[in-house]
Amino acid sequence: MTTGQPGTGAARPAPAGAEAENQPATASTTGRPTRSADTSGTDQAPDSAEASAATSAESPGPRSTDGAKPGAATNGRPTGASVATGDIEPGPAKDDAAKTSGTREASDTAKASGTGEASDATKASDTAKASGTARDVTGTDAPKRGWISRLTKRGKAAKGASATAGAPVNDSDPAKDDKTKADAAKDGVLVKDNDPDKDDKTKADAAKDGDPAKDGDPKDDAAKGDGATKSAKPGDANGQPLTDGETKPADPDRWEAFASAPEPKPSILTRSGRAVGRFLIHEWTLAALGALALAVLMTWPTLRYPRYTLPQDYWDPSLQAWQMAWSGHILLADPARLWQSNTFFPELWSFAFSDTLLGYAPAGMLGSGPEDAVLRYNIMFVLAHALATFGAYALARQLGAGRIGAAVAGVTYAYAPWLLSQAGHLHVLSNGGIPLALAMLARGHGWSLRHGYRPERRHDGWVYGGWLVAAWQLSLGFGIGLPFAYFLGVAVLVVVVLFYVRRLRTRQAVPFGRRLLLADLLGGLLFAGVGLLMAFPFFRVTELHPYAERTIDDVGIFSPPASGFVTSPAESLIWGGLHKGARAALPWHPEMTLLPGYVLYALALGGLFFSVWRLRHRLLLLAGVLVTMAFAMGTRFFDGTFTYVPLFEHVPGWSALRTPGRLMLWTTLLLGLLAAGAVTALTDRVRELTAQRIPSWPGPWLRMATLLPLLLVTVEGLNNTPHPVVPRTPAAMRTAEGPLLVLPSSQNLDQHVMLWSTSGFPDVVNGGSGFTPRQLDDVRRVSQAFPNQTSIDYLRTLGVRTVVLLRDRVPGTPWEITIDAPVESLGITRQEVGNAVVYKL
């Protein structure tokens, strides 16, 4: 349609606000009917339409009507004057194209001019209209006027750049409409495209594309298309048309005013602090720290004087303190001599005379001397309890128990009353690798007791870690590690059988994966390799000392009766004094008081009837408890005919286990899992009840009540363990040259000598272990007459060069008479060093 005709004057002002929405359409001065702003789908942009109309009215020459009849909109609907809303004054007359477009970003005249770029204010108005807040664009909302003002300023900057470049300008600022009109008339700039073919083609493409501005309103498709897409010729940011074939991507900077302020990029220190914070509040971090803090409290006063005292007694702990010190020292100095220790001189493979605690060798590399050895032992004693708690917690959590239930399992596993009698046996207390390895293997295979097999949770990294932890646990000693090794072997066989049975039954390949299979093969080979390397020295010892093998009669001496399962050791703070009479009835109560805890019994019994575990799993756990108890009784359960004796006679290495009561470890773990299922069911039920209460009170009290089982099992594990002071190292031992013999010599006294020898590790004849070599028996028997010629000649034959006689241990022994006798005639020298007499042979 043509513009610039007389009689197309300015539109009449319309009422603002709600009145504009309810007012019927009126006729314009040209006789054409007008529409109110709400009938066009969205409100018009008065500023840009007025500027476009003014430019068109004052420009010479005819205008392209795009095939539209005068007085009609391009969509076939009658045109009308724009209705201004808010507080904007009515603008000058708009051309027919501007009247009919309504929601276009610029009038048809502006399209024909080739600018191809609607003003920023118009786009802001369209955005506000699309949100249903057309009044915000008019300036009635002060905050929104702010960002509209910023867009207007940017439009002015673009207009200035366009004017400089000699390109047509479409300014949307109403304050400068008059100036824009005058400049356009003065400069003779046409606001239309002189190439109607391109214009028609572009309009045809726009009509063909028909991208509506608002979903579900087909009436406005032609009037509300995207101006940047449907304009006759796209232009650049300065209003200059691009050459043919060029494509201008959308400018993201145009919408920066609508975005929130970007967050500053955190620094390395900030990111590191956040990572550390997330690590510190993680469940496993809290579980590890909690297990460590609990271990310090539950073993107190172990760390009160850690360099001078040892828990329970100073016999076996002295031996094990020496074991850690020797393994760490020799692996740094001469690894080939690992199994040829400095004790039991001149015996071979002497380091394999008892469980070695070889897995603690890295700790043995720190420090030197007896005091550091005692400190190291006490630290590992506490850490062993912490690891046992954490390992059982991890296993229960992996199997599906809640946090409190898993904590109950961890505490009962590490602090069961029967374990208090084993306080002097670090190799028995160092059992945390068993549940931890099982938890990691179960995690890697995607299996839990509560949810079954979930292939999507498989991860071969956990499998490698599980086998590695299992191998480390085996390196601590066969007393606990050998049953664990056979358990893993049986578990692998059972899993393989069940895997293929399920595959045959369902006739579908059960997901497993080559990576997982490879991890199991390599991990199993690692575990078996460590076991064989550890077993080889023990087999050599058995060959050299066949009398060291246990007999079934030895097992019978340490086999506990059924009453042992309800009898507490003397070290229990709660039950120790009450069970004094019951302990007196036991033949060897240190290995026969096997009470895992009355609270644990009660919780496990409740777990048979009320638990998160399935019924078949509860029955399997109960069967495991009964079977392990039967094996722990040794020859007391039907003489062991169906339990311990077949293992003792036919399973390799089982004959070395003379204390069947230590299998109670497995009973305790299974009882703990039953208890964890019951406590988890209780906590879940309490959580449901508190969620249903409105208000939630007394929800917090109910939740605190779920901690009662954990509190009870913790209290039942309190100890009354003595911590005697370790005998000080004689000054003579610090300077004596080996090989040497320390007198008096016995199984218990020699364990102190082994600890003292950590000052330089000289070769010593003394030694204490699970058995006594016959040569050491001969030395003790012959040296009772020392110093005489026979004993001196015998010791010289063995290679002994120094004998240390301790005065404080002489009373009541044969040396009480001969310690001050002259030795010149025997060809040896005698010297007083501190509280000892040193003889040089």
pLDDT in tens, 13-31: 444 443 433 343 433 333 3
User: What is the DSSP annotation of 719-786?
Assistant: B----PBPPPPPHHHHHPPSSEEEES--HHHHHHHHHHTTTT---BS---SSS--HHHHHHHHHGGG-
Name the residue among 653, 430, 359, 433 with its Cα closest to residue 535: 653
- 3-state class of 831 per DSSP? strand
Highest mean pLDDT among 88-92, 499-503, 507-511, 747-751: 747-751
Q: Are strands 802-806 and 740-743 parallel, antiparallel or unpaired?
A: parallel
Contact 96, 8 (CB under 8 A): yes
Q: State the number of CA atoms in the 13 A half-sphere of 247 facing the CB.
A: 3
pLDDT of residue 715: 96
Burial 500-511 (b: 16+ CB within 10 A, else e): eeeeeeeeeeee
> What pLDDT band is residue 124 in, cutting at 50, 70 and 90?
very low
pLDDT score of 218 more than 60:
no
H-type alpha helices, 587-707: 598-607, 615-632, 644-650, 664-692, 699-705
Helix axes 478-506, 514-544, angle to 10 degrees: 150
pLDDT score of 221 more than 80:
no
d(CA 670, CA 624): 7
pLDDT of residue 159: 44
Full strand arrangement of the beta sheet holding 836-840: 740-743, 802-806, 836-840, 829-833
> What pLDDT band is residue 250 in, cutting at 50, 70 and 90?
low
d(CA 705, CA 683): 9
Q: What is the mean pLDDT of residues 423-439?
A: 95
d(CA 496, CA 483): 20
672 — alpha (psi -120 to 50), left (phi > 0) or beta? alpha
Percent of the chain whose predicted confidence (pLDDT) is above 70: 68
Please give the angle made by the CA atoms of 814, 818 and 821, to the nearest 5 degrees: 175
pLDDT score of 73 more than 70:
no
Q: What is the mean pLDDT of residues 44-71?
A: 39
pLDDT of residue 824: 83
d(CA 442, CA 394): 10
- 3-state class of 34 per DSSP? coil
pLDDT of residue 656: 85
139 — alpha (psi -120 to 50), left (phi > 0) or beta? left
Please give the angle made by the CA atoms of 217, 221 and 226, to the nearest 5 degrees: 120
- 3-state class of 515 per DSSP? helix
User: Which is it for the CA torsion 461, 466, 471, 473, positive or negative?
Assistant: positive
> What pLDDT band is residue 498 in, cutting at 50, 70 and 90?
confident
pLDDT of residue 548: 84
Contact 773, 344 (CB under 8 A): yes
- Cβ contacts of 736 within 8 Å, gap of 6 or more: 762, 802, 804, 838
More reliable by pLDDT, 451 or 690: 451
| Two structure tokens written together for 37 | 């702003």
Name the residue among 730, 759, 743, 734 with its Cα closest to residue 800: 743
pLDDT of residue 703: 78
- Cβ contacts of 519 within 8 Å, gap of 6 or more: 444, 460, 463, 464, 467
pLDDT of residue 92: 40
Q: What is the mean pLDDT of residues 266-292?
A: 91
**In this predicted model, what pLDDT tens digit does every residue of 534-577 receive, in sequence order?**
999 999 998 999 888 888 888 999 999 999 999 999 999 999 99
More reliable by pLDDT, 245 or 282: 282
Contact 433, 476 (CB under 8 A): yes
Q: What is the mean pLDDT of residues 64-89?
A: 38
> What pLDDT band is residue 696 in, cutting at 50, 70 and 90?
low
User: Which is it for the CA torsion 34, 36, 37, 42, positive or negative?
Assistant: negative
In this structure, of 45-54, 432-441, 650-659, 753-762, the range with the lowest mean pLDDT score is 45-54
**In this predicted model, what pLDDT tens digit does every residue of 378-420 receive, in sequence order?**
999 999 999 999 999 999 999 999 999 999 999 999 999 999 9
pLDDT of residue 289: 96
Q: What is the Cα gyration radius of the chain?
A: 46
pLDDT of residue 507: 80
**In this predicted model, what pLDDT tens digit does every residue of 328-354 receive, in sequence order?**
999 999 999 999 999 999 999 999 998
pLDDT of residue 687: 86
> What pLDDT band is residue 483 in, cutting at 50, 70 and 90?
very high
d(CA 607, CA 409): 12
pLDDT score of 134 more than 60:
no
Amino acid (one-letter) located at 164: T
pLDDT score of 812 more than 60:
yes
- 3-state class of 252 per DSSP? helix
Give φ, ψ of 666 to 5 degrees: -75, -35
The beta strand positions in 271-310, using DSSP E, are none
Mean pLDDT across the chain: 76
pTM value is 0.70
pLDDT score of 255 more than 70:
no
Q: What is the mean pLDDT of residues 734-757?
A: 91
> What pLDDT band is residue 248 in, cutting at 50, 70 and 90?
low
Where is 712: in which H helix or E strand?
helix 708-716
